Amino acid sequence: MKLLLFLLAACSLFAEPVVIPLWPDKPPQFMENAPAEITEERGSIRNVTAPSISLFLPPAEKRTGMAIIVCAGGGYGALDWKTHVIYAADVFNPKGVAVIGLKYRLRPPHKLDNAGIQALTLLDAKRAMRLVRSRAAEWGIDPHQIGIAGYSAGGNLAMNLAANFDAGSPSAPDPIERQSSRPDFAVGLATWHWRQKESPFTFRKETPPVFLVHATNDGITGGAPIEMPKDIRDDLEKLGVPVKMAIFDQGAHGVGNLIPQRVKNGFPPAAWPGLLLEWLADLKP
């Protein structure tokens, strides 16, 4: 076990994570004869039809047990993998937090409307949460400290899961499907919903704590208007769900991006990982 964790942690340090398909065979609603997946030179991924997770685990001696499933942004048409997943791992792993990159399905090649792509990717997010929880002990993760975070469209997916999780199916033949898909916390970074200003999500009292990061200059020439995450915050406060919104006057739609130069130079929005961890620690009884 210790050797496995050491090897997995070493992989994360060299940005060569262990990749695990979400389903051992074809995923539900699998697209046959799809075009090949593309990874662009700048680290963006397109044409995803086979969803998977990539493990970026901290060194065994540093791990806290916390893990964050990270959903890259890209308008549900691409995944800005390098900027959103790899850079997040570079920041969180030294803090002892595992980062699990979720490669969820995209359009194209899936020919779906907005509601359809949200429903399809929700299947992927639920399965990712169940899979990580089912193997938490193996990966040195606390099954009660698994959150989900997303940038832009990935933030849309994170909020979708925070609103629409389930307890799992105790009688499912697949033991992974018996696990709960409820995240222990959810993070929305420049949360987007096709530039709408009102929240489309219907939360409930059981929704996990939500941390939102947004810039006042987002949504002006594109991106996501700040009114929507404010609406999410207000809805959660009415339900009594713990919620925190960190608002910055710079960063625009890339407010949550943990670009190494920003982190090194103390760009104010790049401090959000520390703010998140402090807030979560304060929530503990």
Rounded to whole angstroms, the Cα distance separating 28 from 120 reads: 9
Token readout for 231 is: 């609406």
Strands of 210-215's sheet in order across: 18-21, 52-56, 98-103, 67-71, 146-151, 186-189, 210-215, 243-248
pLDDT in single tens digits along all 285 residues of the chain: 444 444 444 444 444 799 999 999 999 999 999 999 999 999 999 999 999 999 999 999 999 999 999 999 999 999 999 999 999 999 999 999 999 999 999 999 999 999 999 999 999 999 999 999 999 999 999 999 999 999 999 999 999 999 999 999 999 999 999 999 999 999 999 999 999 999 999 999 999 999 999 999 999 988 999 999 999 999 999 999 999 999 999 999 999 999 999 999 999 999 999 999 999 999 988
Q: What is the pLDDT of residue 284?
A: 85
- Residue 76 contacts residue 121 (beta carbons within 8 Å): yes
- Residue 227 contacts residue 191 (beta carbons within 8 Å): no
Q: What is the pLDDT of residue 16?
A: 78
Rounded to whole angstroms, the Cα distance separating 179 from 33 reads: 31
Prediction pTM value: 0.94
Give Cα separations from 139 to 38, 65, 254, 276 (angstroms).
Answer: 29, 9, 31, 22
Token readout for 19 is: 């990749």
Q: In sequence order, what DSSP letters do the residues of 135-198 get, joined into one string?
A: TTTTTT--TTSEEEEEETHHHHHHHHHHHH-----TT-SSGGGGS----S-EEEES--STT-SS
Q: What is the pLDDT of residue 11?
A: 42
CATH of the domain at 160: 3.40.50.1820
Give Cα separations from 68 to 39, 57, 98, 133, 245 (angstroms).
Answer: 23, 10, 6, 11, 18
- Residue 162 contacts residue 183 (beta carbons within 8 Å): yes
Rounded to whole angstroms, the Cα distance separating 2 from 243 reads: 36
Number of separate domains in the chain: 1
Instruction: List, in sequence order, the alpha helices (H) in the chain.
Output: 2-13, 81, 87-92, 114-134, 153-164, 227-239, 260-265, 272-283
Rounded to whole angstroms, the Cα distance separating 192 from 196 reads: 8
- Residue 113 contacts residue 76 (beta carbons within 8 Å): no
Task: Determine the structural domain holding residue 182 and report its residue range.
Answer: 2-283
